[in-house]
Amino acid sequence: MSTEIDVTELGEKIVKVLKTIYDPEIPVDIYELGLIYDVFVNEDHEVKILMTLTTPNCPVAETLPVEVEDKVKSIKLVNDAEVEITFDPPWSQDLMSEEAKLELGML
């Protein structure tokens, strides 16, 4: 089994886990909201997630990144996970998936 298949499969597992994490103020998961900018997985199965928050002073700014790290670390093949928060580019509703917009009655 090649490493690439492992990394792709792992990426899919990570996305599945990210879709179980919700912004407490919006009934849509953080992945569909567009808060996840990038997910990097190296050969050692260490994960780095680049994400943003809806606003810099978001009430979950302290807890949400920790929840993301903990849930991703709980995936069997993940050896380590780190979340980096960025506000560049700032989050906007344009980053939301069609599914999220539909869920929130924006379509």
Q: What total of structural domains would you count in the chain?
A: 1
Question: What CATH number should be reported for the domain holding residue 34?
Answer: 3.30.300.130
In a domain, 104, yes or no: no
End-to-end CA distance of the chain: 43
CB atoms within 10 A of CB 33: 24
Q: Report the C-alpha gap between 42 and 27 in whole angstroms.
A: 32
| Assigned domain for 101 exists | no
Residue 76 is assigned to a structural domain of this protein: yes
CA distance 34 to 91: 8
Examine residue 107 and state whether it is found in any structural domain, yes or no. no
Range of 49's domain?
Answer: 3-91
Domain assignment present for 99? no
Question: pLDDT by residue for the chain (107 residues), tens digit each?
Answer: 445 657 888 999 999 999 999 988 888 999 999 999 999 999 899 999 999 999 888 888 899 999 999 999 999 999 999 999 999 999 999 999 999 999 999 98
| 98 in a structural domain | no
Residue 100 in any domain: the answer is no
